[in-house]
Amino acid sequence: MHSRIQFILALTLIMFAKTAGADQVSSDQPSKPEMEIEASLLTHGYQDWSVHITRTGRAYFHYSNMNPFGLISGEFFLDPDILMSLAKEAQAYQFNELPKEIKPALLPVHAPTYSIEIRLDATRHSVQVFHPAGLDQSAELDRFSAVWDAVWKQFPLKPLGVLTSQSTRTR
């Protein structure tokens, strides 16, 4: 009986040491951020695009077109490394420091609206770009566009980029 108790105690100590060691290893690794992204383009009557990327990497894609009328939607599963990459892109381009709205002085009623909202850990920041064709080139627009392109490059169908839309304006 005494040897059985010693065996159980030794086994318990070994299990405790392995668990403590595993906890130490995982605490040395950087924790992955809790992140969620929503991005959309509303063209007010012709096309609407949206994507919602959840913290688990599940992404919901939606596209609707008015002429010809149709809808395309899908569900994608993004690798955790892609989520980390998107978080790094947002930080590199200082997304959280962008103003909530980027818009020209004169705003047409039916101008396209680009929108991104990023929730990263405890912070939430959203930015809307109204009528990029009416804007002059700026660092803020470039930063928004870089994050926009990083989000949408994950999907097989994607709307025009912010700067692409701007370069098609008539002068």
Using DSSP bridges, classify how beta strands 35-42 and 123-130 pair: parallel, antiparallel or unpaired: unpaired
| pLDDT exceeds 50 at position 4 | no
Instruction: Work out the average pLDDT over 149-169.
Output: 80
pLDDT for 69-80, tens place per residue? 899 999 999 999
Rounded-to-integer distance, Cα 20 and Cα 11, Å: 14
Give pLDDT, residue 122.
87
H or E stretch covering 84 = helix 80-92
**Location of structure tokens 């059985």:** 4
Q: How far apart are CA 35 and CA 137, in angstroms?
A: 29
- At residue 107, does pLDDT exceed 50? yes
pLDDT number for residue 8: 41
The answer regarding whether domain 35-167 maps to CATH 3.40.50.970 reads: no
**pLDDT for 155:** 93
Mean pLDDT score across all residues of the chain: 81
Q: CA-to-CA distance for 60 and 126, rounded, in angstroms? A: 18
Other beta carbons within 10 angstroms of residue 55's beta carbon come to 14
Q: What is the pTM of this model?
A: 0.76
Is it the case that residue 48 has pLDDT exceeding 50? yes
pLDDT tops 50 at residue 28: yes
Which comes out higher in pLDDT, residue 33 or 91?
91
The pLDDT > 70 percentage for the chain reads 77
Res. 66 pLDDT band, cuts 50 70 90:
confident
Write out pLDDT tens, residues 127-146.
Answer: 999 988 888 889 999 999 99
